[in-house]
């Protein structure tokens, strides 16, 4: 595809429910990143994938958060037992590789999650 | 902790003026530097990358890098109201065996007619 795509664009859920957010990276990009952005705040790194392995999960805020990736393709971020503080925009980015040069990250449009 | 610092703003400039956005970083080993623009309610969009000391120009945008001072800036000439956005500085850092991007919190730019 032409760019990073994410779905759904908006998700409203009730506290305690599980949600799945999907990211489809740019074709050929081996590296994939998830970020969270709360309203009016900066980017908060969550997890990085190289291929289908996740060498850096250091940003996942709790064990309610998990992510997986199929090969060098789609990634899913799952939030279990959602809490109101999970409300944010979840952004996915991809890059050719994490090395130099060529690791500019390109962002998808994001998923706006609202937990009621 | 490797950090990227930006003035949060808002930086207010009149239309047609030069907007100067600044960023400092803590990791002396950083080699790649990026500027992203984020409109309200939208995702970040890459607008400039710079890898070596000096200036890099692209249209109305000029990125400046000074590795000795650990300083990177973005100049926007002939600022337009459509340039009003938050500008994020991102710097690579070796962490956990791979190069990750560390993002600053962003500077909000307001260009008024």
Instruction: Report helix, strand and coil shares of chain B as percent, to nearest 5.
Output: 5, 60, 40
pLDDT band at B29 (very low <50, low <70, confident <90, very high): confident
Lowest mean pLDDT among A28-37, A49-58, B77-86: A49-58
Residue with the larger pLDDT of the pair A102 and A94? A94
Task: Give the mean pLDDT of A107-113.
Answer: 98
| Nearest alpha-carbon partner for B87 in B30, B16, B4, B29 | B4
Contacts of A55 in chain B (CB under 8 A): 96-98
> Which residues in chain B have their CB less than 8 angstroms from residue A99's CB?
98-99
Burial status of residue B34 (CB atoms within 10 A of its CB: 0-12, 13-18, 19 or more): buried
CA distance B27 to chain A (A): 16
CA–CA separation, B80 and B16 (whole Å)? 6
What was the pLDDT predicted at A56? 87
pLDDT confidence of residue A101: 56
Is the model's pLDDT at A102 over the cut of 60?
no
Question: Which pLDDT score is estimated for A99?
Answer: 63
List, in sequence order, every residue forming a beta bridge with B87; answer none if it has no partner. B37, B107
Going by C-beta distance under 8 Å and a sequence separation of 6 or more, which residues neighbour residue B57? none
Q: Which of residues 29-68 of A touch B (CB under 8 A)?
A: 41-43, 45, 48, 50, 55-56, 58
User: Band of the pLDDT at A1, cuts 50, 70, 90?
Assistant: low
Q: Give the list of residues 6+ apart from residue A18 with CB closer than 8 angstroms, or none.
A: A78, A79, A80, A81, A82
Chain A interface includes B98 (CB < 8 A): yes
pLDDT digit string, tens, across residues B76-112: 999 999 999 999 999 988 776 677 889 999 999 999 9
Asked if B84 reaches chain A (Cβ–Cβ under 8 Å), the answer is no
Q: How far is A80 from chain B (nearest CA, A)?
A: 24
What pLDDT is stored for residue A86 in this prediction? 98
Contact between B96 and A55 using a beta-carbon 8 Å cutoff: yes
Q: Do B98 and A55 touch (CB under 8 A)?
A: yes
Q: Region A80-85: what's the mean pLDDT?
A: 97
Taking alpha carbons only, the member of A26, A93, A99, A100 closest to residue B50 is: A100
**pLDDT of A74 above 60:** yes
Rounded to whole angstroms, the Cα distance separating A65 from B95 reads 21
Whether B90 and B36 have beta carbons less than 8 Å apart is answered as: yes
Q: Which two tokens stand for residue A7?
A: 């779905």
Q: What percent of chain A has pLDDT over 70?
A: 95
Residue predicted with more confidence, A100 or B102: B102
Report the chain B residue with the minimal C-alpha distance to residue A102: B32
Of chain B, the end-to-end C-alpha distance in Å amounts to: 40
Could you give the percent of chain A with pLDDT greater than 90? 76
Bridge pairing between strands A10-13 and A111-115: parallel
Q: Is residue B19 a contact partner of residue B84, using CB atoms and an 8 Å limit?
A: no
CB nearest A100 (choices: B31, B44, B103): B31
């Amino acid at each position: 595809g032409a760019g990073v795509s994410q779905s759904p664009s908006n998700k409203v859920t009730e506290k305690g429910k599980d949600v799945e957010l999907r990211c489809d990276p740019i074709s050929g990009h081996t590296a994939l990143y998830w970020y969270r952005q709360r309203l009016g705040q900066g980017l908060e790194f969550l997890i990085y994938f190289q291929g289908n392995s996740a060498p850096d999960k250091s940003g996942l805020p709790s064990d309610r958060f998990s992510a997986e990736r199929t090969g060098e393709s789609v990634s899913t971020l799952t939030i279990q037992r959602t809490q109101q503080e999970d409300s944010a925009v979840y952004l996915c980015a991809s890059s050719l590789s994490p090395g130099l040069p060529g690791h500019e990250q390109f962002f998808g449009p994001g998923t706006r999650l609202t937990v009621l | 902790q490797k950090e990227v610092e930006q003035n949060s703003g808002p930086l207010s400039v009149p239309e047609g003026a030069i907007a100067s956005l600044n960023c400092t970083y803590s990791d002396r080993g950083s080699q790649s530097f990026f500027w992203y623009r984020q409109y309200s309610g939208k995702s970040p969009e890459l607008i400039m990358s710079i890898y070596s000391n000096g200036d890099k120009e692209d249209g109305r945008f000029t990125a400046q890098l000074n590795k000795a001072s650990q300083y990177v800036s973005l100049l926007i000439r002939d600022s337009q109201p459509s340039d009003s956005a938050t500008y994020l500085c991102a710097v690579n850092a070796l962490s956990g065996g791979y190069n990750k991007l560390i993002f600053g919190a962003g500077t909000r730019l307001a260009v008024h007619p």
